[in-house]
Amino acid sequence: MTNRLKALLWDVDGTLAETERDGHRVAFNRAFESLGLPWSWDEARYGELLAVAGGRERLMHDMTTRSDAPVLAGEREALARELHELKNGFYAEIIEGGQIALRGGVLAVMQQCRERGVRMAIATTTSRSNVDALLRRHLGRQWTEAFAAIVCGEDVQRKKPDPEVYQRALRALGVGPLEAVAIEDSPGGVAAARGADVPVMVTTSAYFDHSTIEGAIAIGPGLDRREGWRPAPRPAARPAEPIGLEDIEAWAAQMDSVSQHG
């Protein structure tokens, strides 16, 4: 049994928005093109590469599989850094163009958090500039005011699945792990939250729909629908009611262990 919910910790990519396939992937390909590299990641290859957390780390990993990548480690690192910076610029352009929406139900849960004094944090592997682009576009220029802690890729020594991002977020919020719930979409994100003892619920995303996920308190298709969740949420007070804080609190109190096998 957890204490009353004091904080909700949001993952970004895949959880707040489906940013990977039509956002980061497309931006990486534009970065390759802008440097005249004959590289391109199709949807399937990018899905494989998502096993590596962090865009720059993903690039470094992909280069180990290419015969046309620089041979010297220092040159590889410099190229990955340059490409990653270019990618983040193209990503911001895509977001500013309005091509990536927030996932359904996200804004409603954020609004409930504000109304009920449940503090929110961002706990992500993504670069701060990418979070800024996404949330500025969807929450407005003052978006940071909605979050009591914002922990991004640059703020940690070790990215997810390491629990560091969640440990830092808890410390910044001043709450214990059982006073919080994390919302994630990927096996790595779930592992990171669990490693910090934070109960974690999963809204499955395009790339991780069929992945193996273990030890969540709930798994479902999205916050905007009650069908398809395990455990089932409490009976809805009105038809078509989305998932809300009461459901999240109930799952946290139940502390079930739900898995999905890929």
Pick the binder of Mg ion from 110, 185, 218, 245 (CB under 5 A): 185
Q: Which stretch binds ligand XBP (CB under 6 A): 52-60, 98-106, 143-151, 231-239?
A: 52-60
Considering Cα of 201, then 203, then 207, then 211, what sign does the dihedral take?
positive
Per-position x/- string for 135-164, each x denoting binding to ligand XBP as judged by CB under 6 A, each - no binding: ------------------x------x----
Tokens of 28: 């990486």
For the chain, the distance separating the N- and C-terminal CA atoms, rounded to the nearest angstrom, is 29
Task: For residue 188, state whether it binds ligand XBP (rule: CB under 6 A).
Answer: yes
CA atoms within 13 A on the CB side of 154: 6
Q: How far apart are CA 49 and CA 61, in angstroms?
A: 8
Residue whose token pair is 């922990």: 151
- Per CB under 6 A, does 53 bind ligand XBP? yes
Shortest CB 195 distance to ligand XBP, Å: 13
The answer to whether residue 24 forms part of the interface with ligand XBP (CB under 6 A) is yes
Pick 97 or 235: Cβ nearer ligand XBP: 97
**Annotation says 11 is catalytic:** yes
Should residue 242 be labelled a site residue for ligand XBP when binding is judged by CB under 6 A? no
DSSP E strands in 21-139: the ranges are: 119-123
Stretch that binds ligand XBP, among 10-18, 34-42, 114-122, 138-146 (CB under 6 A): 10-18
Strand order of the β-sheet with 180-184 is 149-151, 119-123, 7-10, 180-184, 200-203, 218-220
Q: What is the 3-state secondary structure (H, E, C) of 197-247?
A: CCCEEEECCHHHCCCCEEEECEEECCCCCCCCCECCCCCCCCCCCCCCHHH
Contact residues toward Mg ion (CB under 5 A) are 11, 13-14, 185-186, 189
Q: Could you give the residue numbers annotated as active site?
A: 11, 13
Contact residues toward ligand XBP (CB under 6 A) are 11-14, 20, 24, 53-55, 124-127, 130, 153, 160, 186, 188-189
